[in-house]
Amino acid sequence: MTDIAIVVGSVRPGRYSRQVADWVHAEASKRTDATFEIVDLADYPLPHLDEPVPASAGQYANEHTRSWSAAVAAFDGYVFVTPEYNHSTSGVLKNALDYLYAEWNNKAAGFVSYGVAGGARAVEHLRLIAAELQLATVRSQVALSFYTDFEQFTTLTPGAHQYDALTATLDQLVAWSNALAPLRTELRL
């Protein structure tokens, strides 16, 4: 079975990302083609990148890095739930991505973003980062607007079209994760 992590990309007090991730998880859990698990960055308190050797070497000096490595390596693909801060993703998500390299390789990634402009610019930046990490990003994405998908700018109430967008994103993510499996297996030999 394909295992997909739903990565909660913010640790900010009062964050919206957890309720968005919970919505993604509730919908994704109805599927039978993969398993889905929430991975909350709040549970992996990573300081600003403090590894003395580049991540591509895979030589981790710190226990927090080894713990994060084990969590990420366990999955075949990822849904990144990201806010948009200052026309980009959150610093904590960028930092978490930077900590590792091989653990991300030859896996698929999809995006669920939120913000005033739906978080579209955060996803644009994440796609560039993912390419360098050899993460294959799927075309479909969910872009939740504070104006239309959050009641009184606080409570997630996605429109019907967002459910369709999520289904399309997950369909592509599972398919790509499965398609990349031979590459992951070949490289482990």
> Per residue in 107-159, pLDDT tens?
999 999 999 999 999 999 999 999 999 999 999 999 999 999 999 999 999 99
DSSP 111-170: EEEEETTTTHHHHHHHHHHHHHTTEEEEEEEEEEETTTSEETTTEE---HHHHHHHHHHH
* 179-189 mean pLDDT: 79
Residues of the domain holding 39:
2-188
- Tell how far CA 178 is from the center of its chain: 17
* 50-70 mean pLDDT: 97
Question: Vertex 38, ends 32 and 43: CA angle to 5°?
Answer: 160
pLDDT tier for residue 166 given thresholds of 50, 70 and 90: very high
pLDDT at 89: 97
Q: CATH number, domain at 128?
A: 3.40.50.360
| Structural domain total, the chain | 1
Q: Is the pLDDT of residue 189 over 50?
A: no
